[in-house]
Structure 1
């Protein structure tokens, strides 16, 4: 786990829709991505920028993590987006189509030139075939603090478009890319979020895909509709049975008679010392969710 921040549900909100931005203040989302890019038409880019930055500055979103997805620096809106986002001071800026470490280095140069506060992190959209091929180098770029990189966000729709892979149930065509990206993220201590579920009318399909992503090891899932929040929040939380068993494992290893043992039996299952970290993670996540009241 890269940190203790809950990112089970990460909801995209179109920056041009003021009603949606207002509604987001009441939704049980762990994070909000206030979007200036794909969800906003060219004619509404300026309006979206103004509304999103005002929303972030308002301080009316509680403990939700706020991320602004900007347009790429080379677009007509990119430079204005970055300047405005820096002034608004979100928790992170989400950069689209990060396909190589050079993109992160360029973004770092832009942020330094604009005197961006240290507290603004960078999240990277992983959504091109080139990004998958370069993923280890992109993840390693986070070791240079100038890049501010803390999280990968999979763009599965763009990956499907560029590779011709089908978004089928179970996502077999995507699984190698998903796991390769996840391994690179974990090796460099990054958080990683799954791509979106497109069928907003199929809540159970969304739930199944959330559970799959959770089983694969993702921190959470990006979402496009409020009815997807409950499936994400429940799927990315440890079950009561997992927490119960985790507590038993921690208690067992804490006993004096087990202090020097590398492996012990708990309820007819064998556990090694490496399972202690996994058990602590389950308990910590459970306590964080309870503290949040969800």
Structure 2
């Protein structure tokens, strides 16, 4: 049984090692042909065109832009929802609202993508001069999609704050809002930040929403009104089967995948560090 438990505990580590090995070979082969300096400094990405450029920044900027828009939407909504559920909602209301909120996480992302393209973008075009494909609309919809991550995990962190802290603040004359925002939220800060970083990782790795609604134009820009191409969208484009196996264009798939893996890995490492450094321990 001890050996079985050991295998179960280490399966995640073995999976990660397998992912690294599957990416490493083709990525190394890619950088034998393309300069790493060009890869991280150039601002043009056209490996499928006749004039080939291999600067990763157009894909990185598009991924960062849509993810940041998603965070701008998800963090305020998620935190306000978490504060209400943890500190203000009646237990019966919480029992209904929290599962209802988490239903958003179960909606297929392809549905979110078509919603962004056919509903959100036409609505925004009434007020903003923007193209049909853009990063603003999928970013907003992606933010709605990750609200349950921020709200649910933050609410769990706030609920774990000892009741004695709340009672002490009430004893000093604090209002309910002051207790929620000045006592509970700071005490649960490590869990809240971890939920935000997890939501950010989810946004960075999202595929279908941006593939449908953001476009396939690898342009280095931070203008949310124009079409862009994220890293995941490019991976989908190359994975359709039109690119010859073993070609340089095919190997760009692994180079982009490795970049995406490194970005999410760094975010997770930062999350672990932050939680350990700022975690509040109570008796």
TM-score, normalised on structure 2? 0.24
Structure with bigger RCO (C-alpha 8 Å, 6+ apart): 2
> Which has the larger helix fraction?
2
- Give 1 or 2 for the bigger CA radius of gyration: 2
Question: What is the TM-score when the length of structure 1 is the normalising length?
Answer: 0.23
